[in-house]
Amino acid sequence: MEKLWSTWRSHYIDGFKDHTGDEECIFCAAAEQDETSDDSLVVYKGELAFLIMNLYPYNGGHVMIVPKRHISDIKELTEEEFAEIYKIIQKTVRALDDTMKPQGYNIGANIGKVSGAGIDQHIHFHIVPRWDGDTNFMTTIGEIKVISQDLLDVKNRLQKALLER
């Protein structure tokens, strides 16, 4: 089996400070933001969780579902939180299908720093839309990921699609 190394990812992960308790959690801060503001990446808010654009996406439309409660361990999620997170995942996939027409998805969570979680102190779940050929020479050789969609444009399209559901 051949392996391709994406060493750029380790530079991204290393860019985050270790959580000492002194820094404000970016997800807790985002939970307080007005999702209608163009200055916020929050797309949708539920009662217990919210949907936010990933500022450093793997692909256009890469979003995260985050519980509002500050926890890092999946075992701490209540049944109600997990149910709402799952409902938001389903709604978001439908909205992405409507707006971006991906051919597939990666959906999951990186739990703990060693698993690749850039922000490991507040659990979150990723939805990454995928298309055939979305990895090309720029990614594999140039160590550069080209994202052709504007975050604010994608956010606005997703909000519209979620409101229609």
Contact 156, 86 (CB under 8 A): no
Give the span between the Cα atoms of 67 and 77, in whole angstroms.
8
Q: ∠ CA 9-13-16 to the nearest 5 degrees? A: 150
**122 noted as active-site residue:** no
Catalytic residue among 62, 122, 124, 126: 124
Residues marked as catalytic: 124
